[in-house]
Amino acid sequence: MGYRNTTECLNALEARGELVRIDKAVDARIEIGAIQRRVFQAGGPALLFNNVRGCRFPMAANIYGTRERMHFIFRDTVKMVERLMKLKLSPMEALKRPWKYFGAPKTAFHTMPKKVSDGPVMKNETKISRLPQLVSWPMDGGGYVTLPQVYTEDPFNPGVSGSNMGMYRVQLSGNDYVVDEEVGLHYQIHRGIGHHHARAIKKGEPLKVNVFVGGPPAMTMAAVMPLPEGLAELFFAGAMAGHRIPMVQRESGLPIPAQADFCICGTLSAHEKPEGPFGDHLGYYSLAHDFPVLKVDHVYHRDDAIWPFTTVGRPPQEDTMFGEFIHELTADLVPSVFSGVHEVHAVDAAGVHPLLLAVGSERYVPYAKDRQPQELLTNAMGLLGNTQTSLSKYVFIAAKEDMGAASCHDIPGFFKHMLERADLTRDLHFITRTTIDTLDYSGISLNQGSKLIFAAAGSVKRELGTSVPTGLKLPRGFRDARVFAPGILVVKGNKHRMKRDQQDAALERLGVTLETVKGLEKFPMIVVADDARFTARDWDNFLWVTFTRSDPATDMYGVGAFSNAKHWGAKTSVIIDARLKTYHAPPLEPDPEVEKQVDALGAKGGPLHGII
C-alpha cells in the first residue's frame, strides 16, 4: 500500500538510507533552498531540517530528487497505473492478457475518495506568518509554498467529480499582502483553476480554494499530473496511493485530506495585487505582476506536521524528476491523445515549454517520390491545440517514416536529422501574436508572443558542416564563431539594445553579409548569443540559451531571407537571436556567501560530508 502521509514516507526513506536529518540551525531564507539544490545536483538523499530558524515546523526537501526514489515511493502502484493507461489505449488488451489486470478493479475502487468526519490535519490551527517562509533566490518577493496542492471545485457543479487540483505557486508573505489575512495565488494560462475562477465570477461569488501541503505523496504527484480536462486529479491520487484518499467533509467549505500536514482555506475573488518576483523553472525570475488574492479563513495542521518543499530554477532541478516520471506513465498514451503523433519530448533543459520535439506520421501522399511535411503540420497543430503542449513555443517535428529506430529523446541525433532534411524555404511555419507561457519573457508582452513549427520530412538535403567555413568574416558587432554541433554555428553578438516587438537591423545585416560565404550552406542554423563559449559548451547550455531567450517571430532572421505571400523562409540558414534582451527578466544567480555556508555543511564533520 502507498504511504498515507509525509512521515510514513520519510521514515521509509530513512530505513533505506535515503534520508539525512540536519539538526544544525538553518535559515529558510536562501540557505535552505541552496542546500536542497546542491544536494539534488549531487544525486543526494532526501533531507529533513529539524531546526529552522524562527519556525517551529521541520522542513523536508529532495523527497523526489532521483528517479529511483520516485519509483520506490510509488512502487506498489506504478505498474498497475501504467497498465490501466495502456488499457485506455487498447481496451482489448485486458482480454488478451487478463492476468496483467487482476488488480484493476481494486485500483479503480481506490480512485474514489473516502468521506470522513475528522482527521489529523484538523487538530490544530495556526497563522500564515507562523508557516515556513521559504525564500529560494535573492530577489524573491517573499515566502512561497513550492509544493502546494491547490484544490477547487466547479461552482456550478460542486463535488469531487468537478474538482481541479494543481500546483500553482502561493506567496505567503511580502509585497502588499495583509499579514495573516491574504496570500497571493499565481496561476498561469491554460490551468484548470482558471475555468473554475471564471465560472465563480460569472456566478457572482468568490471561489473557494484549499491549499494542501504534504500528506500522501500521491497527492503531490497528482497535482503536477497533466490530466485531461474533466478528469479529477483526486481520482488519480487514489490510484497512485493504492488506497482511497480520506477527505474531511465539513458542513461548509471544500473537503480537506485527513492526512495532509497543512491546509490553507480561503476564497478567491477578482481582486488582484502584485505577486512576485520569483525564481522560476526557466532559469530566470518571473517578475511582479498582478494576480488574484486569496483571502485566508483558516490554516490547519496536524500535530507532527512537516513542511515539504522544493526549489525551482534553471533545469535540471527536482521538478525534472516529476517530468520524467510523468513521461514514463503517459508515453504510450500519446498516439491516443494526438492522432498521428508517435512521440513527444518537452525538453527540460530548455525550460519545458519553450521547446517541444516530436515524431509524427507523414502519410498524406504516400506515392510521392520524396516526402514533404503535410500530415506533420496537422500533427503539430494538434499539439499546439491540446493540453500542456499547447504552451510550446518551438515545435520541431520529424516524420516517423524517416526516423527508423531513432527517437526525439536523443537530442543531438534528432537535431542532426532535422537539419539534414529541412527545406528552410518551405518548412518554417509561424503563428504570431498568440498566447505563450506566462513565465516566458521572450515575447512581445506578458502571455503574448509567437510560435514556430519547424517540420522536416523526406531525404537528406544537405551535408552538415563540422568546422567553421574557411574565409568566414563577420560584420562589426559579431565575433567568436564556433561550431557547436553538426550544422550549428554559435556567434557572439553585441549587447541587445532594442525595445520589445522590434527586430534588430544588425541581425538583418549579418544575414546579408553571410550570403556570400562559401560553405555556409552546411550550417542551416546559426545562433547569436551574448557568450558563444558558454552557449557552445554543451547541449544543456545551448538549449537553455537558444530557446528561452528568443521569440520565433521577433528573433529569427535568415541568410537569404525572403517573404512571399506572407510566408517567410531562408535560402541558406536561419539565424536565431538568443541574446538576453533589454526586456527579459534577469537570470537566477546564487548568493556567493550562502554558497560558502553550504560548502561548510559538506566539509569534513558536516552533516552533508560525502554528499556534496
For each of the domains in the chain, give its residue range(s) and CATH number, in order of start: 6-73+111-309 (no CATH), 333-456 (3.40.1670.10)
Q: For residue 96, what pLDDT is reported? A: 45
Kindly report the backbone phi and psi dihedral angles of residue 513, in degrees, each rounded to the nearest multiple of 5, phi listed first: -60, -40
Cell of 417: 536529422
293 Cβ contact list (under 8 Å, min separation 6):
177, 182, 183, 184, 185, 268, 269, 271, 272, 273
pLDDT of residue 94: 41
Q: What is the pLDDT of residue 99?
A: 45
Q: Residue 415 — φ and ψ, nearest 5°?
A: -60, -40
Cβ-based neighbour number of residue 122 at 10 Å: 19
Q: Looking up cell 480520506, which residue turns up?
A: 246
Q: What three-state secondary structure class fits 259?
A: coil
Instruction: Report helix, strand or coil for 244.
Output: coil
**477-491 burial: b if 16+ Cβ within 10 Å, else e:** ebeebebbbbbbbbb
- Tell me the C-alpha distance between 437 and 431, whole Å: 14
Q: Are 32 and 52 in contact (CB under 8 A)?
A: yes
Q: What cell does 48 get? A: 529533513
Q: DSSP per residue over 81-129, as a string?
A: HHHHHHHHH-TTHHHHSGGGGTTHHHHHHHTS-EEES--GGGSEE--GG
560 φ/ψ angles, rounded to the nearest 5 degrees: 80, 35
User: Which segments of 225-263 does DSSP mark as H helices, in order?
Assistant: 233-241
Closest C-alpha among 56, 55, 54, 60 to residue 22: 60
- Give the three cell numbers for residue 401: 517514416
Distance CA 199, CA 13 (A): 42
Nine cell digits for residue 562: 525572403
Cell numbers at residue 65, please? Answer: 530528487
CA dist., res. 163 & res. 153, Å (int): 4
Decide: 215 and 1 in contact? Cβ < 8 Å.
no
* Residue 358, strand partner residues: 344, 397
- Please give the model's pTM, rounded to 2 decimal places: 0.92
Other beta carbons within 10 angstroms of residue 539's beta carbon come to 16
Q: What Å distances lie between residue 18 and 2, 39, 147, CA to CA?
A: 17, 12, 20
* pLDDT the model gives residue 327: 87
Q: Collect the ranges in the chain with pLDDT lower than 70.
A: 1, 85-106, 189-190, 228-230
In angstroms, rounded to a whole number, what is the distance separating the alpha carbons of residues 359 and 343? 5
Closest CA to 209 of 264, 249, 262: 264
